[in-house]
Structure 1
Amino acid sequence: MPNTIGRLMADHLHQTQTALEDLKRLLARVDALEQQLTQLKQSDGDQGWMTIKKAAPLVGMSNTALAQRFRRGVYPEGVVWSMENNRYLVNLRALRDHMARGQH
């Protein structure tokens, strides 16, 4: 009988620890989603043109990585990006459309 109680307690402890780890992962994901939502609100969603500094984190890239893709011609100039006053401007909706089609 003591072994059975010990095993039950150990199983319960393991299940509780697993549930806590799952909860921590979920909370981290919720936090990440809240950050993305805040970024989208600040960028006016997918509407219009924005700086590369604003657009890059919204698509999960660094400014440098996104600029390199522009220079290599991965995304069409005038549709996804343009250069004004020596800085990149990005049409976030067009960029996401190209990325969704596997063009990245």
Structure 2
Amino acid sequence: MSRSSSVLLFMAGAATASVLFLALHHQRRRQRHQTAPSISQSSHSVSSLPPSLEHELFARVVSFFGEESFPPIQKAFVVVVGLGGVGSHAAHMLVRSGVQRIRVIDFDQSPV
């Protein structure tokens, strides 16, 4: 693996970790500032995957962030601007991390 490939993979991983950390931080901040008791949310997933397959796919993310922190990651809305070398890897890793709502923006126009 070349040095530039390693740097790109590191940057994509760092971007993914940053987005997940921010989603978790905002969720915890919202929970601290709520005065009314929150209604417990169901464990129903938006994805069409069987629960056993979903559990297998995201087991490492859940083990890293914890059971209670994974639903906010799934419900996070992330915008990825630019799908070049870094953005495409970041979007890929966000999906693999369980984020279900992603908007991608790229104005690159290649000749047909």
Q: Same fold (TM over 0.5)?
A: no
Give the helix-richer structure, 1 or 2: 1
- TM interval, short-chain normalised: 0.3 to 0.5
Calculate the TM-score normalised by the size of structure 2.
0.30
Calculate the TM-score normalised by the size of structure 1.
0.32
Q: RCO (CA 8 Å, sep 6+): is it higher in 1 or 2?
A: 2
Larger Rg: 1
